[in-house]
Structure 1
Amino acid sequence: MTTSSMPRIDAVDHITLGNGLQVFVKQDHRAPIAVSQIWYRVGSSYEKRGRTGISHLLEHMMFKGTERYPEGRFSEIISRQGSRENAFTGRDFTAYFEILAADRLPVALELEADRMTNLDIRAEALSTERGVVLEERRLRTDDRPEGRFLERYAAIAEPGTGYAHPIIGWADDINAIDEGDLIDWYQKWYSPANANLVVAGAVDPDEVFGLAQTYFGMLQGSPAADPSDPPPLEPPGERRLVHRDAQSRLTHLRLGYRVPSFATAENEDEGYALMMLAGVLDGGEGGRLTETLIRRSRKATVINATYNGMTRLDAEFTIHAVCPDGHTDRLEESLRSQIARLRDELIPDGELQRTKSQLIADHFFNMDDIFNQAMQVGMLEAIGAGWETSSAFEHKVRSVTPAQLQEVARRYLKPERLMVGILCPADAGNEPL
């Protein structure tokens, strides 16, 4: 393969090894740094009740060592290279990464190849990591009213899917998982055929492909497994959750509409349109929500709209607000009016162009970081949307029309797809909020 000395900013080189491992390379030669990421196509959405949290718990166990590199040795070697490493678990993937000098890339690949198939899962190590995970759950969720609320919200908003349970898992499931469960999960999902290697930075694609073949090419493992998702359910109509929490000092209102992701949309243009609609509502200080509900009417002290289309299953278009007086009825009415306006009126050209410019600027600012460049490729591949989605971003955003935005708002931002969640202090009582 011949590579240009000045590759396009959106160019990605790709091969698939004989064992099924996919390798993606994105060049950026501005600094002599490389990012290596291994993405396994498994996360909390692949889990069933009784085994929730097993993907995240296995992520912790991946740092407990192999026969060749016992516990602590992996991190010691990476540290001695002047590098750093970590991992993260999502709903649709588990990923491990190293950030290091480009000429030290072989070290990271050798270590990752070893623990892809040779992990040593022991009961003693599991006992330690189980305690770490339960403490993490306590700090992030059990001791925080917002965390307790969001778990309850997801359970109702995502019926029939793996998104209904938390990534970290339910506490009783975490306590029930044993080393046999982890070994089975590891052997089923951690194999070359179920993984993507993404390398970004000051690297040559041919050299990376050669290194991948050297360290990963001889590995064997299970074939890529089916996540066995149940058939998708139509949104069951408008739902409502009111969670009164003794530790909550503020009242939060959350409106979430079930919408397609980039992976599930019938037409990928719908994903860009939903992103644009969120930008119209929440375009910083100039967004409609800030202007009308914070500056003018003071019905909210904090407000934002988001669309995260980077999911394997359907996504959510969300508006979140903090209500200063605790009475959410007026705030909710105003938010519904803003959604109705998206359905009923074409967005003026000036407002649309401002939103497009902001989205494109934010995208390129984010892509200035080589870690984020690798993240974008890895995430798009993990959810099944394909890395090419990112390369088309600017063109797709500029191509969205007011009529497309209105059509998508009418199709998806309607009450039948709505989940309303309210978090309020326990002394709010039972009167209408």
Structure 2
Amino acid sequence: MNRSQSAGFILSLILVFGCFSYSLSAAEEIPTLFNPKTTMLENGMQVVVIEDHRAPIVTHMVWYKVGAADEPAGKSGIAHFLEHLMFKGTAKIGSGEFSRIVAENGGQDNAFTSQDYTAYFQNASADKLPLLMELEADRMQGLLLDDDAVGAELQVVLEERSQRTDNNPSGLFREQWIAAQYLAHPYGTPVIGWRNEIEKLTTQDAIDWYKTYYAPNNAILVVAGDVEAETVFQLARKYYGPQKPMEIPPRIRVQEPPQLAKRVVEMRDERVREPSWRQSFLAPSARTADVKEVRALEVLNEILSGGPTSRLYSALVRDQKVAAGAGSYYDATSYDPSIFVVYGTPASDATIDQVEAGIWEILQDILNNGVGDDELQSAKNRLLASAIYARDSVSGAANIFGAALTSGEKIENIVNWPRQITEVTKEEINRAARKLFDEKSSVVGKLLPEEK
């Protein structure tokens, strides 16, 4: 994982094992998603501990409740830029020494920025937890920046943008497509920032951002692994407790006006070898909607895209053979409204129009006839299996809780996700689908080769 990674994928970790099957008998108790223990320090820092004693390792993460969507106008990229600068050193730890110390103690460290949060993490043996806390707490409010360090790192970020976006037609296209989806909300601005705005970021911009948002009362500490919760709480009080709380600006963002027109974004590039099609729809997040609607959409996504027996893959790839790949995705873990996306890549002897028509035939069937009993139960079984297998990953547990809590999700909804999935009904899915698939709030994206 790279320090600049957007990390929009993180809560989807609980879905990556969806190809496994699982059937819950009447005698079985529905599993919870981990058993976290939590406390609040006097300075306002939340501490979450997920105990897992199967191996003597620990994941230590600090999540700040600020991301790219909180940036002021004209300063896009500052959240991600400061993430880079957090490795420049403090009065105690010199520039670049943070990662060296972690590595010398047998650990790995990194960081990532999303629209809604910025996270810093280390993986190491459990006995190194006090050291990890000491290092991370030191840079929470002790970061030192000067023009030389900031200027050099700005060039690193610009080169990163060149490699990942500017020199990548898929990356450029995604920026244009997402920008079209959000008419006003800052989710339409890329996490890494627009190049013309990144180039103008200054040392003072970084200092202002740091001093505004990096405080214990705007952070969540998540520790998972071979630890005892009370011991972690004591260590947190020792190392993070002395950090001073600050007055954090309210999280007020420009919200979307009513969307009244379907948009089509078409981009051609000579570097494109395989065309692709997608359509996104504005969708609720766990914070902005009733949990039943969100869980219904998660099950709908599994019905559409959960493995080789899903509707999109089985119809378009296996049976009709018009698509080389087809699926959907939905991330309910954003702070503000998210998107639900369906997509497809045409087979070598098919066209984008055929893929689009095939996907919409499936969506229209769901809108007209709803989902079936068997596919509903199969989707639930796969999602329950994903919850069980997710518990095998120590770092996955820390990521799940950090991403959800910084985005405004309630901890009880995270823990009880499996039960909420089992309670989803066909009627709830059908109602959510009819509300979701409104083309007036959608954007069609077509990435095509350059015309000859």
Q: TM-score normalised to the size of structure 1?
A: 0.94
Query: How is 1:13-162 mapped onto 2 (pairs within 5 angstroms)?
Result: 13-162=37-186
Partner of 2:306: 283
Alpha-carbon offset, residue 363 of structure 1: 2.6
CA distance in 2, matches of 1:107, 1:159: 45
CA distance in 1, matches of 2:258, 2:56: 49
Partner of 1:3: none
Partner of 2:422: 398
> RCO higher in 1 or 2 (8 Å CA, sep ≥ 6)?
2
Contact 1:88–1:95 under 8 Å retained in 2: yes
Q: Could you report, residue by residue, the CA deviation over 1:58-102 in whole angstroms, capped at 9, with x for unpaired residues?
A: 000000100111112212221121111110111100000011111
Which residue identity does 1:391 align to in structure 2?
Answer: V
SS at match of 2:340: strand
CA distance in 1, matches of 2:63, 2:257: 28
Partner of 1:299: 322
CA distance in 2, matches of 1:61, 1:118: 12
Determine if the alignment matches structure 1 residue 360 to structure 2 residue 384.
Answer: yes
- Which 4+ residue blocks in structure 1 deviate beyond 6 angstroms? none
Alpha carbons of 1:326 and 1:127: their partners in 2 closer, same or farther (altered >3 Å)? farther
CA distance in 2, matches of 1:416, 1:318: 14
Aligned match for 2:345, one of 322, 333, 342: 322
Alpha-carbon offset, residue 8 of structure 1: 7.7
CA distance in 2, matches of 1:383, 1:198: 14
Alpha carbons of 1:8 and 1:263: their partners in 2 closer, same or farther (altered >3 Å)? closer
Determine if the alignment matches structure 1 residue 260 to structure 2 residue 284.
Answer: yes
SS at match of 2:451: helix
Aligned match for 1:386, one of 382, 386, 410: 410
Q: Could you report, residue by residue, the CA deviation over 1:134-161 in whole angstroms, capped at 9, with x for unpaired residues?
A: 1111111111111110000011012211
CA distance in 1, matches of 2:215, 2:145: 16
Partner of 2:21: none
Unaligned stretches of 5+ in structure 1?
Answer: 1-6, 429-433
Partner of 2:3: none
Contact 1:250–1:326 under 8 Å retained in 2: no
CA distance in 1, matches of 2:155, 2:387: 39
Query: How is 1:151-230 mapped onto 2 (pairs within 5 angstroms)?
Result: 151-230=175-254
Q: % of aligned pairs identical?
A: 34
> Which deviates more from structure 2 when the two are superposed, residues 48-57 or residues 373-382?
48-57
Alpha carbons of 1:9 and 1:313: their partners in 2 closer, same or farther (altered >3 Å)? closer
When the two chains are superposed, the root-mean-square deviation of aligned CA atoms in Å is 1.5
Aligned length: 421
SS at match of 1:285: coil
Alpha-carbon offset, residue 174 of structure 1: 1.0
Q: TM-score normalised to the size of structure 2?
A: 0.90
> Which deviates more from structure 2 when the two are superposed, residues 137-146 or residues 334-343?
334-343
Partner of 1:373: 397
Alpha carbons of 1:13 and 1:224: their partners in 2 closer, same or farther (altered >3 Å)? farther
Partner of 2:18: none
Q: Could you report, residue by residue, the CA deviation over 1:365-424 in whole angstroms, capped at 9, with x for unpaired residues?
A: 223101010111101110001222221111111111111110101111122222111110
> Which deviates more from structure 2 when the two are superposed, residues 111-120 or residues 352-361?
352-361
Contact 1:278–1:306 under 8 Å retained in 2: yes
CA distance in 2, matches of 1:350, 1:357: 11
Determine if the alignment matches structure 1 residue 238 to structure 2 residue 254.
Answer: no
Partner of 1:431: none
SS at match of 1:176: coil
Q: Could you report, residue by residue, the CA deviation over 1:254-277 in whole angstroms, capped at 9, with x for unpaired residues?
A: 111111011111x11111111111
